[in-house]
Amino acid sequence: MTSSDQRSTDSLQISVLTKALEDAQNRVAVLEQQVKNLEQLETENSRLTKQNHDYKDRSIVIKNEEQVPKLALLDSGDVKELQAKAQRLEAELTESRDKLAKLETEQLESKETAQKLAQELKEANSRSESLSLDLDTVKAELSALTAKYQKAKSKKKEAESDLQSLREKVEGLEATIAENQKPVTALARIQTHLQLLPRLSQKIDRISFKLPNKVSAAALADYLERVAPRDPIWTEHSLIFLPVGYTSLSAQCCSDQHFLVCVPFTQKIPNSSILVRSPFKNRTGQTQELFTMPNGQILYMGTYECIGTKEYAPTGMKLPAAIPVKNIVNVVHSQFLQHPKQGVPSYQQLCKWYESGELSVEFIILKSVGFDAELAQALKKEKQRHHSQHAGKKRKPQGKAQRPGPSRDGSEGSEITEPPSKRRKMTTRDGSCSTRTSLSSDEED
């Protein structure tokens, strides 16, 4: 039985008990009125009994007068009148006797009725007391049930509040999980796109070399302009150079031709007007020659097309856990070092922003579209020329013999072919296997 049904039953029981109590009280009032009527009848009976006794006394006097000898003073008319009066009194006496007998009978019946009414009154009072006790009990039970109902209602309200709070927490957790899954999902789609890119059928003979001076994009452009001039001329913006000191992450997904580079997303740092720029800003869709520096030597990789991935992450994405945060912060920090500004954040603060997702990253696909054999041949000839000059200098006697090998100024290098098997594997969050190589670009807009 529910609480509402219990309350309805209790209310009906209280109504029945209240009606029974009112009926008992009405019955008691009727009995009290009948007792008053009986008292009036007893008073009337006493009056009639007294009157009857008076009539009897008068009848005795009249009979005595009839036995007294007729006095000479009374005439016959007076005697007749007295006789008639005596007859009337006798009739009245008879009538009074009948009325008295009737009153006595009624008195007896009234006493019996009074006794019965008194018994009924006693029972009614007892019943009234019992009903009063029952009513008090029902009221107490109703009060207890009302308190329980209010307590249950309060608990229900608290439970609904807790349930709503849990729902909000679950929704928040679901939103957080979905938000955390976005980078993984987007990266998996990007890697799938990268794996489906067509491969070049031609054999690629990658050439490694060293610059005679300090390594930079500008120095590399000057070196190429001298070794393999072209029109338009080589500039630091007409090539892709990913040196060791300007590190981002390149993941090689089941291919030694195409690369995936993780770089900072172009955006303002929190609470500032200072802009973080992507090294590949304004390069999407362009085809340029790619040079990397994996082992301290510059390696010509071939001709690559820069493909953006904003269709998968239009506003960038949180840095995936598989990518060390320092690889991204190094790129951003080098930008600030080259162009110092007031209010530039510290290296540690940049790490916190990228780890929390306040600053985003983006992925650039470097698609292999060709290989400039003439440029590779020119670089190879220049390396051989340097090697021959260095070997001729070594044959001249100059005191203590020197071990053959590259000079300290880095003017000579050896040809290096980088097989895919020597790259270090990296497992991303989605479980896919990729190869990791340190790559970056030094372009600034």
What is the per-residue pLDDT for 434? 37
Which residues are registered as beta bridge partners of 275?
268
Q: Beta strands 239-242 and 287-292: pairing type?
A: parallel
Lowest mean pLDDT among 198-212, 215-229, 394-408: 394-408
> Which amino acid does the sequence have at 375?
L
Which residues, other chains included, contact 297 with Cβ-Cβ below 8 Å and sequence gap of 6+? 208, 209, 210, 413, 416
Torsion over CA of 23, 27, 32 and 33, rounded to 10 degrees? 100
Most confident of 44-48, 207-211, 253-257: 207-211
pLDDT of residue 290: 92
Residue 250 scores a pLDDT above 50? no
CATH-assigned architecture of domain 3-173: Orthogonal Bundle (1.10)
Reported confidence tier of residue 62, pLDDT bands at 50, 70, 90: low
| Residue 426 pLDDT level (bands cut at 50, 70, 90) | very low
Residue range 252-271: mean pLDDT, rounded: 79
Tell me how crowded residue 65 is: count the other CB atoms within 10 A of its CB: 11
Query: What digits encode the pLDDT tens for the residues 277-321?
Result: 888 888 889 999 999 887 778 999 899 999 998 888 888 888 888
Least confident range from 71-75, 267-271, 325-329, 361-365: namely 71-75
| Confidence band of 69 (pLDDT split at 50, 70, 90) | low
Give residue 247's pLDDT.
41
Show Cβ contacts of residue 51 under 8 Å, excluding neighbours closer than 6 positions.
96
Q: Is 436 helix (H, G, I), strand (E, B) or coil?
A: strand
> How large is the average pLDDT for residues 48-75?
64
253 and 191 Cβ atoms separated by less than 8 Å: yes
pLDDT for position 400: 46
More confident residue, 327 or 178: 327
pLDDT of residue 415: 37
Instruction: Record the pTM.
Output: 0.51
Residue with the larger pLDDT of the pair 374 and 281: 374
Report the amino acid identity of residue 391.
A
pLDDT band at 427 (very low <50, low <70, confident <90, very high): very low
Given this model, what pLDDT does residue 151 score?
Answer: 92
pLDDT band for position 439 (cuts 50, 70, 90): very low
Helix 373-395 to helix 217-227 angle, to the nearest 10 degrees? Answer: 90
pLDDT category at 253 given cuts 50, 70, 90 is very low
Name the segment(s) of the chain with CATH classification 1.10.287.
3-173
Q: What is the pLDDT of residue 358?
A: 92
Q: What is the pLDDT of residue 37?
A: 79
Query: Rounded mean pLDDT of 103-118?
Result: 82
Return d(Cα 421, Cα 252) in angstroms, integer.
11
32-58 average pLDDT score: 78
Q: Which of the pair, 20 or 331, is modelled with greater confidence? A: 331
Q: With cut-offs at 50, 70 and 90, classify the pLDDT of residue 349.
A: very high
- Give the pLDDT band (50/70/90) at residue 435: very low
Q: Give the type of residue at 371.
A: F
Q: Which residues contact 320 (CB under 8 A, 6 or more apart)?
A: 183, 184, 187, 262, 428, 429
Q: What is the 3-state secondary structure (H, E, C) of 12-60?
A: HHHHHHHHHHHHHHHHHHHHHHHHHHHHHHHHHHHHHHHHHHHHHHHHH
Lowest-confidence pick of 105-114, 202-211, 400-409: 400-409
DSSP class of 317: B
Does the structure show a pLDDT above 80 at 352? yes
**Residue 363 clears pLDDT 70, i.e. is over it:** yes
Give the model's confidence band at 67: pLDDT under 50 very low, under 70 low, under 90 confident, else very high: low
How far apart are the C-alpha atoms of 154 and 159, rounded to whole Å?
Answer: 9
Helix (H, G, I), strand (E, B) or coil at 292: strand
pLDDT of residue 156: 92
DSSP assignment of 53-107: HHHHHHHHHHHHHHHSPPPTTS-HHHHHHHHHHHHHHHHHHHHHHHHHHHHHHHH
- Describe the crossing of helices 347-356 and 325-338 by its angle, rounded to 10 degrees: 130
Top-confidence residue, 239 or 395: 239
Question: Is the confidence at residue 234, as pLDDT, over 70?
Answer: yes
pLDDT at 65: 58
Structure confidence at residue 261 as a pLDDT band (50, 70, 90): confident
If phi over 0 gives left and psi between -120 and 50 gives alpha, with beta otherwise, what is residue 399?
A: left
Residue 436: what residue type?
R
For residues 75 and 81, the answer to whether their CB atoms sit within 8 Å is: no
Q: Interior CA angle at 171 toward 166 and 175, to 5°?
A: 145
